[in-house]
Amino acid sequence: VFIRRGQSQNKSTEQTRQYHLEIMGGFHEKQTLSTYYGSDYLDADKIDDNICQLQKQYIHKMADLCANHLQSCTSIADLGGGTGYFTRLMLQQMQPPPERCACVDPYLAQDDEVEGGIHFLKIDAVEYLEKLDTKVDGFLLKEMLHHIPNQPRLFQNLARLFKQNGGGRALIVTRPDNPHLVWFPRIAQVFKDSCVDIESARHLAEKAGLNWTQTLHDFPLEFTVDEW
């Protein structure tokens, strides 16, 4: 599955970002969208109404797709899960839900909290994998692979854990690195700069001993010429 969430690379921003756990009833307003992504780089007052609606559709569709891919897993860890908003949406689509679920992110405001059946852990994704001492057979890496500086270590640890646990599944969600879309040059460049090198990731995963299956899901958008 290939789509992506952007995240600021500004050092001072990353040092101060903290995700606060919130139970949100639904994706109905701009403030929810700002909370989902992090208010430090998405100002709720500046979000276009149509963009808010499209993001709602996109996020809910992605939650359904991810739930389908991970439905067979009994224990799931959402790596780089931020506020846990998407984790909750995905769990709502899973019947029955997994026995255990963790949301792992180094920018959580607090560590080792449990809310809504989700264990929130304030830790880097690779460090989490290296320290993991319980069986997890499903990992979600949604729109975060481009933030991992040492991807070989990531895939090596996933392969080690799957071998140790007798199998498992890692779902990497990112957007295509070669989209054929009619965009303004600036938008196309922003898209390109924050994409994952998919073939490189495939090579690293297979080198670590993982089997790689790649799927492309379309997400159609519709708006007027004037809006464009």
- Residue-wise pLDDT tens digits, 113-126: 999 899 999 999 99
Q: Which of 23-32, 33-42, 182-191 has the lowest mean pLDDT?
A: 23-32
Q: Which of 21-35, 67-81, 140-154, 174-188 has the lowest mean pLDDT?
A: 21-35
31-35, 172-176, 178-182, range with the lowest pLDDT: 31-35
Mean per-residue pLDDT for 87-106?
95
pLDDT at 217: 86
Flag whether pLDDT at 7 surpasses 60. Answer: no
The answer, yes or no, to whether residue 47 has pLDDT greater than 90, is: no
Q: What is the pLDDT of residue 10?
A: 39
Q: Does pLDDT of 59 surpass 60? A: yes
* pLDDT bucket at 74, cuts 50 / 70 / 90: very high
- R_g over Cα of the chain: 17
Q: Give 138 or 189, the one with higher predicted confidence.
A: 138
Q: Please tell me which of 32-41, 42-51, 164-173 the model is most confident about, judged by mean pLDDT.
A: 164-173
Q: Residue 1: what pLDDT?
A: 33
pLDDT of 34: 54
**Can you give the pLDDT at residue 224?**
73
The arithmetic mean of pLDDT across residues 130-138, rounded, is 96
Mean pLDDT of 194-212: 92
User: What is the per-residue pLDDT for 129?
Assistant: 98
